[in-house]
Chains A and B, each alone.
Chain A
Amino acid sequence: MAKSVLVVGGGPAGLAAARTLGKLGIPTILVEKEQKLGGRPILEDYHTLIPRKMTPQQVIGPFIEEVQNNPNVDVKLGVELEACEGEAPNFKVKLSNGEEHEVGAIVVATGFQHFDAKRKGELGYGIYPDVITNLELEQMFSREGKLYRPSNGQLPKRVAFVFCVGSRDRQLGVTNVHCCRYGCALSGLQGTEIREKYPDVDVFCYYMDVRTYGTWEYPFYWAPQEKYGVRYVRGRIAEITYNPQDGRLRVKHEDTIVQRPAEVPMDLVVLVLGMEPSEGTKKVAKILGLAQDPDSQFLVPAEDSGSNIISNKPGVFIAGACKGPIDIESSLAEGEAAGAEAATFIGAKVSA
């Protein structure tokens, strides 16, 4: 029986799995297709993370360091899983760098990708420079340290967040019906950051409902609204236009509380992007024969297991955003759980 484990994906979930396996003394191969570990938050320079308002470096950095320094973990950057033969606990895996390995278990942590906002043409992304994504806003903060309108470099007087772009939307087909889970909360945080730093900038959130679930309710909904004056307006933005007279955007919606259509001027509009399974997730699902949700294509756990991380295939464990929208803390926890499950699966025992 092979005694090593393959972890596919070096984001929060994959790192946590590899770290746990390494700490248990199990030979682990971690393949990450990019040249850097850390997943979306590190690769794409998120600024401040919900819920603890720490940077990606503070949250994920220690995991990267431990994994890199653990002699049991063999990190392979720029490498993907190409093929897999055999059954658990004797998988023969082929990697994109030509290597072949025999492993006893596999942890899949291939994550998500952002919704492509251009698909919602009526929102004007890619047409009007002052329509940006929430990811770009994160990068504006983290890379440039200031808020500005891309069209003229000036501070906007008003910023609008448009919730649920690429989520909860049957127009996009059956693939994007789910809720992104992080969007409302991240907008609350981004709105707070704007109001803290630029108290004269008015911030609006256009929502269908505010889904700051669990303990996120106070810090990412109540506090932004009560303490920072972020304004919440119920109504989904249906169209964004540009007015050449004043050079400002118009957000077109119905204020469903007043029951009146509205076309209100805004200087910067932030689209709150949904999450989709990454290309890597879909590819690995095919290679390993993993069950996917027929609509969203996210991986789904085994039907006969109450556990979230046990896949339909014995010896394969799934963790993080490859299974659907999820936050970093939960991705880390699932990675840890998947690592531990993989360890017990290959028969690792705690020696006395």
Chain B
Amino acid sequence: MAIHERSLVDPERILRKERLVIDGIDVSGDWNLIILPRVIEDYDLSFLDEVLEQPEGKTILQCYQCSYCTASCPVHNYWDERYNPRHFIHLARLGLIDELQKRADVMWRCVSCHKCTHRCPKGVLVEEVLKAILRVMAKRGIIEEYPSKKFDKFFLESVYEYGRIEDGELLFGWIEKQGYQVVKDPVLKKPIPFMGGVPEWLKQLAIKPIKNMNIGFLILNAKHMLFHPRTKNWNRFKQVLRKVMEEEGVFAH
């Protein structure tokens, strides 16, 4: 049986049997399809309370859903229409948790350009509000920790340690940090990005640059990964850096 307004029906709500026999009567093709109801049965209003407890969440009540933000948002416009700051605000305010969860895969995509915040006619600090929503989602375990935050942290650590970044180091080390089941090569003891339990997109991400690199650069990278060269006089600079970072409360090492 055809499903009308198919775009509104989530795949997990469709129950379909190729052959269905009820009381000895073969009803396949006619009554073999059930769509579970998609009715919103209640709001979870405590979600908004938790957003309002976050310092960045304070302005969420100011939104009147005009969508000036979304219309300005590069992520929405050029990457994925499912990333929609205005919509996230509505869902958070009514506590429509399953709807938020459905979008968890795109919700970290904000590039913090702040166009939304600069343009919002109601003075909503949109970018901040979204971070507050994400924090509450993370606290409730309905979204994973900000994946790019993990990367940022690793990036910072390797700069801090060696005074420079090494492309290979960054990529392989980060993959390791993700906790993926990796296969390590026997020489460098580094994970091989295109083997083991690494997700497909990551394999692609690793293979593409390696394929395109010239061999000299590859060897250089391998050498650096092995010997960890540091920037000259880095140890002295590191101490200054540590002081500044501590003063600014950036990180405690």
Contacts and interface: CB of A to CB of B under 8 A. Distances in A.
Interface of A: 202, 210, 221-222, 225-227, 229, 231-234, 255, 257-265
Nearest to A254: B40
A258 B39 contact: no
Shortest beta-carbon contacts, A-B, top 5: A262-B40, A226-B62, A261-B39, A226-B61, A257-B90
Contacts of B8: 259
Given A202-B45, A231-B94, A233-B94, A260 B64 contact: no
Given A226-B61, A229-B61, A232-B64, A260 B90 contact: no
26 contacts: A222-B64, A225-B61, A225-B62, A226-B61, A226-B62, A227-B61, A231-B93, A232-B65, A234-B65, A255-B96, A257-B87, A258-B40, A258-B90, A258-B91, A258-B99, A259-B8, A260-B38, A260-B39, A260-B99, A261-B40, A262-B39, A262-B40, A263-B40, A264-B41, A264-B43, A265-B42
A257 B61 contact: no
Contacts, number: 50
Nearest to A228: B61
Contacts of A260: 38-40, 99
Nearest to B5: A259
A225 B62 CA distance: 7
B64 A264 contact: no
B232 to A, nearest CB: 56
A38 B91 CA distance: 45
B39 A263 contact: yes
Interface in B29-55: 38-43, 45
A259 B43 CA distance: 15
Interface string B94-106: 1010010000000
Contacts of A226: 61-62
A255 B65 CA distance: 13
Contacts of A262: 39-41
Contacts of A261: 38-40
Contacts of B99: 258, 260
Given A232-B64, A260-B99, 13 more contacts: A225-B61, A225-B62, A226-B62, A227-B61, A233-B94, A255-B94, A257-B65, A257-B87, A258-B91, A258-B96, A262-B40, A264-B41, A264-B43
A233 B93 CA distance: 10
Interface string B200-235: 000000000000000000000000000000000000
A255 B64 contact: no
Nearest to A257: B90
A213 to B, nearest CB: 15
Nearest to B61: A226
Contacts of A221: 64
B90 A263 contact: no
Contacts of B93: 231
Nearest to B37: A261
Nearest to B59: A226
A162 to B, nearest CB: 17
A225 B65 CA distance: 12
Interface in B52-78: 61-62, 64-65
Contacts of B65: 232, 234, 257
A237 to B, nearest CB: 13
Interface in B122-143: 122
A300 B142 CA distance: 59
A274 B91 CA distance: 30
Nearest to B7: A259
A197 B118 CA distance: 35
B63 to A, nearest CB: 8
Contacts of A233: 94
Interface in B77-117: 87, 90-91, 93-94, 96, 99
Nearest to A202: B45
A239 to B, nearest CB: 12
B129 to A, nearest CB: 13
Contacts of A229: 61
A204 B65 CA distance: 15
A263 B90 CA distance: 17
A265 B91 CA distance: 17
B86 to A, nearest CB: 8
A234 B90 CA distance: 10
A263 B224 CA distance: 62
Contacts of B40: 255, 258, 260-264
